Structure 1
Amino acid sequence: MRNNRRSRFHGGLRPNDPTKFGCNACHRHAYSHFNAEKDYFLTSQSVRSGSPFRLSSFRLYYLGQSISFLGDGIVPMTFAFAALAVSDSGWGMPIVLLSLWGTRMLLIAPGGNVSDKYNRVTVMIAADLVRLLAQIIPVFAFITNTATLWHLGISAALYGVGTAFYIPASIGLLPRIVPKESLQKANSWIELTLNTGLLAGPALATVLVSLGGIQTALLFDIATFLISIACLSVLFRLPKGQLLTNGLEESDDGRTAESVNDEKENEIPPGFLNGLRLLPRYPGVLWLMLLSCPVQFSIASISVLGPIIARDSLGGIAFWAGLATALAAGGLAGSFLAGWVKVKKPVLLVLVVLTICQPIQLVLFGLGLNIIVLAVSFAATAILVTIAGILFDTYVQITVPDSALSRVGSIEQTLMSVMIPIGFAVSLPMAQWLGSSQYLYSLAAIIAICGLIAAIFLFPRQSRIDESQTRMTQRTGSNK
């Protein structure tokens, strides 16, 4: 149930073609708020480059997220055990998932708006408190032997409320605690820790439930929330002397009053619709976000059909366990390698990976090749997709205006909240109608076609933006 996964769409630094919304008074109000929060988190010149772990702010954030990701890993398995314990009808997990995704989908847009308007650490702490409360409900019910399906449903709904505010806030926070030179490595480490937690979580959940019951596993998750809240609270209270002061004069990160004023003009006023209006200004973000929709749909379909295809056509469920292990190993490897990969055109790389690699994996799986070929294919795809995602995170962090960052993340989360449940729901009926292999081939064709459409609309405009940025950089250099 628990899902703190970072979005693929973040933001931070301002582009050279600022988007202007609203009146100057709105700009002044928004700028004063966001600059104050940014002053609090950014780092000094002495640690601008190199490992993000040199920054006390990132170390605190990473510690809290690492513990939280371990909780992410144990909760799905724990709630599966809990659903089976309170209901034999088979409706336990569907009710839990519908409660979680329903509230999350309804509130993710307001969550992005609130996160762009208020201090993001404060929003994250409040969201964690809501999710902690959500876990206390089933703990109390299982300890008193009164647990019912309604306890799990209410817990999941509350958890979805907290998640709807936590994720957009976390999307916007990282560029405020890590300088742009270290963002890619920071993203890599966070993704590596996330994948490790998701890999180790099911085994840990099984051990905790076996030793002390479902309530023990849930209490462990509550403990991870308390640690996460403590780290965020300390992060909020870090002495300003340890962090960068961005005044209107030249700051330690080299920004001048002119560059700060450019950021002021680039502030986006509150409102989810204003975040939507911003996206056409950034075609790389927009089109790759749209392309991710069929990709997410296909991933949801594989998660449903994979065990069935393995059981019926590939020699048994153990076949799927091997492929799942290859996916996990590829994700871990990709998370590590992404911190060292340097790409001049990340948008092009992400487009190629999504348009080619994901369809190839679907086709090979549909062909039912031997386990070695499929395992290599799954691992390679996981490596490339993970690297592409982290590179794209970093690209957006230096492209999208900070004042709309959380709303852009909430847009992506809204799309994911729609596509994944639809993929879960329609994959089995469609596979029964078309045949499993034909359904996978169809998904591959849809992704490839969407990728080609994205390339046609994306690259002419992206090339103009790149040329404009190059000219601006050259003019800035000549002025110096």
Structure 2
Amino acid sequence: MSPVRFPVRPSWAGRNYTLLTAAAVVSGLGSSGALVAGAFAVLAVGGSATDVGLVAAARTVPLIVFLLIGGALADRLPRHRVMVAANALNCVSQALFAVLVLAGSARVWQMAVLAALGGVGQAFFSPAAEGMVLATVSGSRSGRAFAVFRMGVNGAGILGAGLGGALVAAAGPGWVLAIDAAAFAVAGSLRAFLDVRGMPERRGGASLAADLRDGWREVVGRPWLWSIVLQFSVVNAMVAAAETVYGPLVARERLGGPQPWGLALSAFGVGTVLGGLLMTRWAPRRLLLVGVLAVLPLALPSAALAVPVPTPALAAVMFATGVSVEVFAVTWMSALHQEVPEEKFSRVSSYDWLGSLAMVPLATAAAGPVQNAVGRPAALWGCSALVLLLTLAVLCVPDVRRLTRRPADLPKTEAAGTEGTAGTADPADPIASA
């Protein structure tokens, strides 16, 4: 009898897909731990809560400022080289951060500068990386591939945060930051080994400005795309305000302290992993209709905190929200991969990222004053209402309800005329502009 052989990886997971997924898991483990370590590093030098927020903002602001430039460059240069260069910048910035903390000579302004460098690296990395995973598998497997990829990243985030907290307590934040720098080095090395011989040659326009205008036309020419980007500019801001500002306050005053809030966040993380598992089995035909419907549960955590519900109920709500987030993420990325031309993908992705992040700093900064003006329950109900209203409004967009998954064996140009498909959303197309 011949021995039973178990496949090391699925048949559709080729070398590039495996390298990209492994790199994302490694960097995710390091980065999620570093988020914990960075805050404690600021506190260890006598920094205040305001200083912690300053260092966090120092990373977010350059991320927002450089996103569009990063997207344009990623459509002009080989994307894997942009990713490797961004990983190198993140590795250097985190290594310097670690050295300063371990030497006991770190200052808050130095931490802010190094965090800003990390934000610049992320601004160039994210648009280049977006869609790379889906480009490594066939259309019929793209949804499953992205779901498995997301499961790995989310699992790494959960594990990394737990290990990071334990290591900060045992060895101090400096060593966790050093591990993050090493993780970026490993991830960049893995991405450097990608086989890009079959990938299309990059040809930019006359200038970066021309490329950005071209990317903008791609976004505004698709009602389903710009409406969802606009929706999430508000949805992400409301979720961030509820989870980063109001959630910890409710937990401290009404639920018994940080432990119940940590349990709720852990339940969300578990939900994201199981949501990814669900999407490896489910390929809904109406991509965006299903995806946008899955956004509706994002209104629940704010409502649960406004009541507030007991900890078990809050954990259940957060778990359901985690599942729904993954349903949206996979359907959204599948729609982008199907509809957006490959040579313009990074520019479109940069506008998507910009829309998703632009209002988050404003919302978190305004959360306190809004609470003082109207009260915390009213502020939380307002967050919930805005998520619901914006999501219901997007469901009124015909292309959102109409866009369907294309037959995998049809090329993009031929399949654009398939009945019920929004195609490339050319403004002259009667289906796209209906």
Per-residue deviation at 1:105?
A: 1.2
Helix, strand or coil: the match of 1:54?
Answer: coil
Q: Distance in 2 between matches of 1:464 and 1:230?
A: 37
Q: Distance in 2 between matches of 1:220 and 1:212?
A: 12
Against the structure 1 CA distance between its residues 218 and 451, is the aligned structure 2 distance closer, same or farther, given a 3 Å change threshold?
closer
Q: Distance in 1 between matches of 2:160 and 2:61?
A: 24
Against the structure 1 CA distance between its residues 221 and 246, is the aligned structure 2 distance closer, same or farther, given a 3 Å change threshold?
closer
Amino acid at match of 2:62: T
**1:94-126, CA deviations, whole angstroms, 9 ceiling, x for partnerless residues?**
221121111111111100000011100010111
- Residue in 1 aligned with 2:276? 335
CA contact (8 A) 1:283 1:461 kept: no
Against the structure 1 CA distance between its residues 109 and 216, is the aligned structure 2 distance closer, same or farther, given a 3 Å change threshold?
same
Helix, strand or coil: the match of 1:469?
Answer: coil
Matched, 1:166 2:125: yes
Per-residue deviation at 1:454?
A: 1.9
Helix, strand or coil: the match of 1:326?
Answer: helix
- Residue in 1 aligned with 2:250? 309
Q: Distance in 1 between matches of 2:279 and 2:257?
A: 34
- Residue in 2 aligned with 1:365? 305
- Residue in 1 aligned with 2:411? none
**1:183-232, CA deviations, whole angstroms, 9 ceiling, x for partnerless residues?**
11221122112211221223322333344433321221121112112111
Q: Distance in 2 between matches of 1:100 and 1:118?
A: 25
Per-residue deviation at 1:462?
A: 4.1
Which one has the bigger helix percentage? 1
- Residue in 2 aligned with 1:400? 340
CA contact (8 A) 1:284 1:462 kept: no
Any residues of structure 2 matched to 1:134-145 within 5 Å, and which?
134-145=93-104
CA contact (8 A) 1:53 1:59 kept: no
- TM-score (normalizing by structure 1): 0.76
Matched, 1:457 2:397: yes
- Residue in 1 aligned with 2:188? 229
Most deviating of 387-396 and 317-326: 317-326
Against the structure 1 CA distance between its residues 52 and 98, is the aligned structure 2 distance closer, same or farther, given a 3 Å change threshold?
farther
Per-residue deviation at 1:333?
A: 1.1
CA contact (8 A) 2:42 2:108 kept: yes
What is the aligned residue count? 399
- Asked which structure has the greater CA Rg, the reply is 1
Match of 1:63 among 22, 27, 32: 22
CA contact (8 A) 1:52 1:58 kept: no
Against the structure 1 CA distance between its residues 309 and 155, is the aligned structure 2 distance closer, same or farther, given a 3 Å change threshold?
same
Against the structure 1 CA distance between its residues 131 and 342, is the aligned structure 2 distance closer, same or farther, given a 3 Å change threshold?
same
Per-residue deviation at 1:310?
A: 2.2
Gaps of 5+ in 2: 1-8, 202-207, 407-414, 422-434
Any residues of structure 2 matched to 1:22-171 within 5 Å, and which?
51=10, 54-171=13-130
Helix, strand or coil: the match of 2:17?
Answer: helix
CA contact (8 A) 2:335 2:405 kept: no
**1:410-464, CA deviations, whole angstroms, 9 ceiling, x for partnerless residues?**
1121122322212211122212322222222222222222223223333489479
Amino acid at match of 1:428: G
Most deviating of 372-381 and 108-117: 372-381
Per-residue deviation at 1:89?
A: 3.6
Q: Distance in 2 between matches of 1:433 and 1:191?
A: 39
- Residue in 2 aligned with 1:203? 162
Against the structure 1 CA distance between its residues 53 and 219, is the aligned structure 2 distance closer, same or farther, given a 3 Å change threshold?
farther
Gaps of 5+ in 1: 1-49, 248-267, 474-480
Q: Distance in 2 between matches of 1:270 and 1:124?
A: 23
Amino acid at match of 1:86: V
Match of 1:192 among 132, 142, 151: 151
Q: Distance in 2 between matches of 1:170 and 1:407?
A: 12
Amino acid at match of 1:330: G
CA contact (8 A) 2:288 2:400 kept: no
Q: Distance in 1 between matches of 2:291 and 2:114?
A: 37
Against the structure 1 CA distance between its residues 314 and 147, is the aligned structure 2 distance closer, same or farther, given a 3 Å change threshold?
closer
Against the structure 1 CA distance between its residues 84 and 315, is the aligned structure 2 distance closer, same or farther, given a 3 Å change threshold?
closer
Q: Distance in 2 between matches of 1:214 and 1:352?
A: 41
Question: Identity, % of aligned pairs?
Answer: 22
**1:233-291, CA deviations, whole angstroms, 9 ceiling, x for partnerless residues?**
1114x7x5xxx5889xxxxxxxxxxxxxxxxxxxx995212211112332222222211
**1:310-355, CA deviations, whole angstroms, 9 ceiling, x for partnerless residues?**
222344443323322221221121122111112110111122222x
Most deviating of 291-300 and 142-151: 142-151
Per-residue deviation at 1:465?
A: 12
- TM-score (normalizing by structure 2): 0.84
- Residue in 1 aligned with 2:427? none
CA contact (8 A) 2:286 2:401 kept: no
**1:346-396, CA deviations, whole angstroms, 9 ceiling, x for partnerless residues?**
111122222x32224432332223333332222112212211211211121
CA contact (8 A) 2:224 2:397 kept: no
Matched, 1:469 2:417: yes
Q: Distance in 2 between matches of 1:369 and 1:411?
A: 37
